[in-house]
């Protein structure tokens, strides 16, 4: 099941994001369930959130992945939306 995580950083979160980026990328690599991912950008082109597409069994697995993401553990996000997603193009 493909699930999109749409995460918005807290205001002023860029330093937190940068400080935890290596751990976040290592988590992506070690879990092996990320189909695609990348940062959302603000008007200035700076990282301000995340879009992560997970390939997991169900929404519960997506929630568990999101809860254990180093960004989430660092308190980076003001909100996280977990939404089933259907790939149509690409």
What are the boundaries of each domain within the chain?
2-84
Looking at the chain, the whole-number percentage of residues with pLDDT higher than 70 is 100
pTM: 0.93
Three-state DSSP class for 57? coil
pLDDT score of 64 more than 90: yes
* pLDDT of 90 above 90: no
pLDDT per residue over 20-37, tens digit each? 999 999 999 999 999 999
Q: What is the pLDDT of residue 62?
A: 98
Summarize the confidence of residues 57-75 as an average pLDDT: 98
| Long-range CB contact pairs, 10-17, < 8 A, 24+ | 10/75, 10/76, 10/77, 10/78, 11/78, 13/48, 13/76, 13/77, 14/46, 14/47, 14/48, 16/71, 16/74, 16/75, 16/76, 17/47, 17/71, 17/76
Pick the CATH number of 2-84 from 3.40.109.10, 3.30.428.10, 3.40.50.300, 3.30.70.1060: 3.30.70.1060
Backbone angles phi, psi at 86, to 5 degrees: -115, 120
């Amino acid at each position: 099941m493909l699930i999109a995580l749409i995460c918005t950083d807290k205001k002023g979160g860029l330093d937190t994001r940068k400080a935890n980026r290596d751990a976040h990328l290592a988590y992506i690599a070690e879990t092996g369930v990320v189909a695609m991912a990348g940062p959302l950008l603000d008007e200035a082109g700076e990282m301000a959130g995340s879009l992560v597409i997970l390939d997991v069994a169900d929404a519960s697995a997506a929630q568990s992945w999101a809860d254990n993401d180093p960004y989430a553990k660092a308190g980076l996000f003001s909100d996280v939306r977990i939404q089933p997603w259907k790939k149509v193009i690409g």
